[in-house]
Structure 1
Amino acid sequence: MPSEGVEKSWKRLGLIAGGGALPVRIAEAEKAAGRPPFVVRITADKDAFAKFDHADMGIAEVGGVIKRLKAEGCDAVCFAGQVLRPNFADLRPDWRGAALLPKVVSAARKGDGAIIDVIVSAFEQEGFTVVGAEEAAGGLLMAAGSLGRHAPATEDLADIAKGAALVGALGPFDVAQGAVVRRGFVLAIEAAEGTDAMLDRCASLPEELKGFEPGHAGRKVGVLVKTPKPEQELRVDLPTLGVRTVEKAAAAGLAGIAVMAERALVVDRDAVREAADEAGLFVYGFRAEELPQ
């Protein structure tokens, strides 16, 4: 994936915006670079892009989105933010969306990753360059090592290794980007509910399954591990963490959060660092080769 400082090749970015802070940061970065984007608000907050040129369109209005982006002079497109899988029976596709729908429905049987592949291909066939959030905004990739004062202990590294292996093993089923592991015991696997709801689930578990490590007063245990699924389209839907992730992990009694270095995005890095330091959590970028086998 391109790093910060790489010259961008597009004239104007079309931003397909879901919920959360990530698409807002991308739009702000493009505007600061002198290339205000055109934003298609799919599930984004209605006030989030009031200062940008934008349109509200449905997820199935593929033809309308493509036509509008071309009319606005966009030659590249970035997909960012949270978009829940729709109920296909409730969709109101336009002509292009209707033509694409059989492929999307077929892909849905394989998983969300396959759906993303179909949509990305449709935009590429129309001549758009599809770029990732890091390429659009720069400075979002998690580096190797700790972000903040705290670092994982040896026991935490073992939990990180198990969580990463679990996500990798579930890859063929297109199930998870995340898991929570506490001293080798799997507390949760992320599925359709997303990271926040998974962490809420962990927070509601019986105390004997979470909380402080016996014999080590004050030391929380357990790690949220997020990593891309094998063969995932890395330009779309990279694991993302922000302040809310830290707050949810702290409420679940975890010792920290681990993401694959250079394969995850950090939104509002300084605020994430401050929140993690205050909560006593580590936020750690790992490389597969450094984890215990």
Structure 2
Amino acid sequence: MLIGPIKRPAWRDLKPDAEGARILMRLGRAVFSGDDGLLASVVRVLEEKGFAVRGAHEFLHDELGPRGALGRIEPDEQAHRDMERAARVLRVMAPLDIGQGCVVQNGLVLAVEALEGTDGMLQRCRALKQEGVGGILLKMPKTGQELRADMPALGAETVRRAAEAGLRGIAFAAGGTLLMNKQECVKEADRLGLFLYGYAPRVS
């Protein structure tokens, strides 16, 4: 089972042994792709070695974020429109294997997640906030993502970083996001005045 963050090493710093060199050769061009492309290739190599790879979400059932508001604050109509906008952006980005997060404020895309991760993106957003009500963060998996290796996740620290960035809420793909210590996430969201919302696309 694969769980937790991974920091990409600088490839020039790697000093693989013979087996490591063979694995790098099996990964091929995937070592230069996005996180999902690389991790999907790692899963493939592990399976070729006889391992059965299981996703963390197969065991952490209670940590999967459900649909709807989790705390005492409900997103308003503008927040829902911003969620839909962020979801469209992430769906367009998915084939490029860039990131799992997008911040939108009143229809304006403030930031998309790249190699710096969610916390780094939220740090950038602190200087990008526009006048008026704060924006929203949406976390959702890429289309066709290898969820056994890289399911979106967020925790109480993400909630605190979102508040520092001036956001008014966090949305996440319902049933497709791990909430680390869900009760603490909800408690922090309520304390800081943010909504925490399990997003599912609206049916038109």
**Is the TM-score greater than 0.5?**
yes
Larger radius of gyration: 1
Q: Is the 8 A contact 2:163 2:194 kept in 1?
A: yes
* Partner of residue 114 from structure 1, selected from 37, 51, 60: 37
- Displacement of 1:114 in angstroms is 1.3
Structure 2 gap ranges (5+): none
After TM superposition, the structure 1 = structure 2 runs for residues 159-178 of structure 1, keeping only pairs within 5 Å, are: 159-178=82-101
- Aligned equivalent of 2:195, options 261, 279, 282: 282
Name 1:96's counterpart in structure 2. Answer: 19
Q: How does 1:73-92 map to 2 (within 5 A)?
A: 78-92=1-15
Q: What percentage of residue pairs aligned between the two structures are identical?
A: 40
What are the equivalent positions in structure 2 for 1:1-293 lying under 5 Å apart? 78-205=1-128, 209-210=129-130, 213=132, 220-290=133-203
Distance 1:289 1:92 in 2: 49
Separation in 2, partners of 1:95, 1:137: 36
Q: CA deviation at 1:172?
A: 1.1
- Equivalent residues of 2:40, 2:149 under 8 A apart: no
User: Could you tell me which amino acid in structure 1 is paired with residue 130 of structure 2?
Assistant: K
8 A contact 1:210–1:253 mirrored in 2:
no
- Residue 138 of structure 1 deviates from its aligned partner by 2.9
For residues 153-208 of structure 1, give each alpha carbon's deviation from its aligned partner in whole angstroms, at most 9, with x where no partner exists: 01000000011110110111101100100010010010000000110111133xxx
SS of the residue corresponding to residue 147 of structure 2 reads coil
**Scaled by the length of structure 1, what TM-score is found?**
0.67
> Are the aligned partners of 2:57 and 2:64 in contact in 1 as well (CA < 8 Å)?
yes
Q: Which has the higher contact order (CA 8 A, sep 6+)?
A: 2
| Divergent runs of 4+, >4 A | none
Q: TM-score, normalised by structure 2?
A: 0.95
Structure 1 contact 141–264 (Cα < 8 Å) conserved: yes
Alpha-carbon distance in structure 1 between the residues aligned to 2:41 and 2:134: 40
Please give the secondary structure, in 2, of the residue aligned with 1:162.
Answer: helix
Give the conservation status (yes or no) of the 8 Å contact 2:27–2:45.
no
Report SS of the residue matched to 1:236.
Answer: helix
Task: Provide the rounded CA distance (Å) in 2 between the counterparts of 1:237 and 1:278.
Answer: 29
Aligned residue type for 2:107: G
Deviation at 1:269, TM superposition (A): 0.7
More helix by share: 2
Q: Secondary structure at the match of 1:93?
A: coil
CA contact (8 A) 2:26 2:45 kept: no
For 2:77, the aligned partner's letter is T
Amino acid at match of 2:124: R
Amino acid of the structure 2 residue aligned with 1:197: G
1:179 and 1:91 map into 2 onto residues whose CA distance is 32
Q: Deviations over 1:22-76 (max 9, x none)?
A: xxxxxxxxxxxxxxxxxxxxxxxxxxxxxxxxxxxxxxxxxxxxxxxxxxxxxxx
- 1:86 aligned counterpart, secondary structure: coil
> What is the alpha-carbon distance in structure 2 between the residues aligned to residue 171 and residue 87 of structure 1?
24
| Unmatched segments (≥5 aa) in structure 1 | 1-77, 214-219
| Alpha-carbon distance between aligned partners in 2 of 1:103 and 1:111, rounded to the nearest angstrom | 17
Deviates more, 1:124-133 or 1:263-272: 124-133
**RMSD of aligned C-alpha atoms?**
1.4
